[in-house]
Structure 1
Amino acid sequence: MKILVLHGPNLNMLGTREPEIYGSLTLDDINAALSQLALDLGIEIECFQTNSEGRLVDRIQSAAGLFDGILINPAAYTHTSIAIRDAIAAAALPAVEVHLSNIHNREKFRTKSYIAPMAIGQICGFGADSYLLGLRAIFNHIKK
């Protein structure tokens, strides 16, 4: 089993960007924890971060046939990107949406997700553990 892990815009700034909201772990820390969990589960992951909506769409589109599922934190694109939503729908792979913060307990504009209707589930508000919970969820979903 191989899972594509996608990190959206500004997540490369984790550790220094608003740590009171996003925590003090860096993206490298999160990727290392995901890699360890993947090893424990006996699966492969590939992690990719970009600030570009188009590059996220390209990676999602190219995932079909190469990956069994997608774990995605679309970050700010959650609330704006119909293109990412449509790419996930077209890829026809199970996807889990994750967020470090609870997007439903923040500014009103952050509560709408264009991605959630295309995902098998959404996990938010648990900091870096959201990613680990998401990886376990997609693993269990695909394994069934």
Structure 2
Amino acid sequence: MDAILIINGPNLDMLGIRQPEVYGYDTLADVEALCQRTAEEENVSIDFRQSDSEAEIMGWIKKGRATTSGLILNPAGFTSTSIAILDALLIYDRPIIEVHISPLFRRDEFRHLSYPSKAASAKIEGFGIRGYEFALRKLAEWARG
């Protein structure tokens, strides 16, 4: 069974509370449950994580090279700021799908830049938490070859 690493960046632990007009009322637990159901349907396992720490996220990405066949990353607040996460992603030599719950192109101008996109195989944004499901299904398909 292939493992997919799912990393959520800063403040995503506050989904459902923080700006529901932007992110909706689903919680991070709802995202994890959706990913778990999808993983079972796709016959893959997931390693689901969240951190407000850039260093911790970088460590997970680097360690994931040895144990996972794909990565879903919602870099959240690090999207427009972290060259360090981009550098870690460039080391991760497996498919990467960047996911955003809200459409970045409709948000503040400074949010339009995404450093992780430079390393991503694909990017999904604006579909709410369903973006995670779409990404997971695609990574499972790629893992099957």
Measured against the shorter chain, the TM-score band is over 0.9
* Matched residue, 1:12: 13
Q: Map residues 28-67 of structure 1 onto 2, 5 A cutoff.
A: 28-67=29-68
Q: Structure 2: 5+ residue runs without aligned partners?
A: none
Q: If the length of structure 2 is used for normalisation, what is the TM-score? A: 0.97
How many Å separate the matches in 1 of 2:4 and 2:36?
Answer: 11
Which letter maps to 1:95? Answer: I
Secondary structure (helix, strand or coil) at the match of 1:88 reads helix
Q: Map residues 97-108 of structure 1 onto 2, 5 A cutoff.
A: 97-108=98-109
How many Å separate the matches in 1 of 2:129 and 2:94?
Answer: 23
Identity %: 38
2:128 corresponds to 1:127: yes
Which letter maps to 1:67? Answer: T
How many Å separate the matches in 2 of 1:138 and 1:78?
Answer: 21
Q: If the length of structure 1 is used for normalisation, what is the TM-score? A: 0.97
Q: Structure 1: 5+ residue runs without aligned partners?
A: none
Structure 1 stretches of 4+ moved >4 Å: none
Question: How far 1:93 sits from its partner (Å)?
Answer: 1.7
CA RMSD across the alignment: 0.8
Question: How far 1:142 sits from its partner (Å)?
Answer: 2.6
How many Å separate the matches in 2 of 1:124 and 1:29?
Answer: 18
Secondary structure (helix, strand or coil) at the match of 1:79 reads coil
Which letter maps to 2:76? Answer: A
Provide Cα deviations, 1:98-133, integer angstroms capped at 9, x if missing partner.
Answer: 000000111100001001120110000000111111
Instruction: Name the stretch that deviates more: 67-76 or 131-140.
Output: 131-140
Matched residue count: 144
How many Å separate the matches in 1 of 2:95 and 2:12?
Answer: 22
Which letter maps to 1:133? Answer: F
2:96 corresponds to 1:79: no
Provide Cα deviations, 1:69-92, integer angstroms capped at 9, x if missing partner.
Answer: 110100010111011111011121
2:8 corresponds to 1:2: no
